Structure 1
Amino acid sequence: MSLKVTIETEYKNALKSKDKIKISTYRLILSSIKDLDISNRSGPNKKETDDEDIKKLLKKMIKQRTESIEIYKKNNRSDLLEIEQNEFNILSSFLPKQLNDEDTKKICEETISKLGASSIKDMGKVMGELKKKHADEIDFSKAGALLKQMLNK
């Protein structure tokens, strides 16, 4: 079952259970997917929207929620913080589980030693390899910071 169908099914379930938070979040996701469909159909590179496109979209939406959560925490806006946190949790549920910091560090170390990377100049090579093998598992903002630390020794 495709990611879009899964989201649509969850949306229908939320409508039946009258869960306002989920309904609004699923509508937001489906609206964004529809926009993505339209942009993919128009323009020079016409293509169907696939699960990879939807995953990228969800990651972008999660990043926006994360930034909002930080701002709301700083400004003590617990009412808005709760809404963003709920949206973040719902969006995250459609993506593969991200590795924790410890596992990310371990994979970064293994990739560095496998490629023989020794300086910050090799960071692009290492990031490319990580994206090839662990695209859905790693938070690349964390991985980038870790790699800078490891390669700057």
Structure 2
Amino acid sequence: MTGKAIDVVSAGRGSAVRGRGARRRAATLASIRVSSAAEAGYAAAGPVSRVIEALGNNVVADLLGVSRSQPSRWRSGQERLSPENRKRISDLDHVLDRLLLELYPDQAGLWLTGPNPHLGGARPIDVLQLRGAAAILPAIDALTVGAFA
């Protein structure tokens, strides 16, 4: 702490922090514009390729309930993902990214398919499919800090 006073003022949808330079930051943050080129940068090709590389076409297809040739078509750009499958690929990508920070790939596979006490004994991959990434992130956080249930 620098000893400078910082006021937090509730205003409508959020809080504003006031202090040295805060007005300039607040003005900048009040007018954020996302580049029209951003959509291409956030295209699903990156996550699709990473997830397929990590898990393989067949596993990805089985997890998403699509034909086994579908992931290849997504990866090559022949077809676009539906919004639902794009979200599910994004969830898988995020979970794999978090797991591979802590575990070797073979350990990550075992973690995903083994019963997890932080998930009431459920397998993380099943919870991910039913409830999304947010439901298993606390179990990954517990793994990160070395907690055992």
TM-score normalised by the shorter chain: which range applies?
under 0.3
Query: So what's the TM-score if we normalise by structure 2?
Result: 0.27
Greater helix fraction, Structure 1 or Structure 2: 1
Give the number of the structure whose alpha-carbon radius of gyration is greater: 2
